[in-house]
Amino acid sequence: MARVVVDVMPKPEILDPQGKAVTGALGRLGFSGLAVRQGKRFEIEVDGEVTPDTLADIERAAETLLANTVIETFDVRVETDVAGTVDEAAPTAQGGTDHPGHDVDHLNEETGA
């Protein structure tokens, strides 16, 4: 099974109130020098091999449904290192999901969890 990821972001000229709110909250928590733009990530599981036709279909889906192309841009890419599927992602102690490649062990040490 293959995974195709569609990242959707607000266009640079579009105001991003959610990103601005996160940036402000990070500053109040002591994380200085960071600026956030908030977007969306779609993980699409594909049965079999990802072909050029499959990618073209996903691009059309992104342009038609996943992104509002008036105010958002999108990027489609194939993830090559997929250990499991979205359904197999396990919740972490911090409430996120532990996808392949995410190392959260050091977070448990810092928080005492």
Mean pLDDT of the chain: 82
Residue 77 lies in a domain: yes
DSSP string, 67-80: --TTTEEEEEEEES
Average pLDDT over residues 61-65: 98
What values do phi and psi take at 35, rounded to 5? -125, 130
Residue 53 lies in a domain: yes
Residue 104 lies in a domain: no
The letter for the amino acid at 63 is: E
Structure confidence at residue 83 (pLDDT): 61
Q: What is the pTM of this model?
A: 0.70
Domain of residue 71, CATH code: 3.30.1280.10
Query: Does the pLDDT at position 92 exceed 70?
Result: no
* Number of domains making up the chain: 1
Structure confidence at residue 80 (pLDDT): 82
For residue 20, the enclosing domain spans 2-82
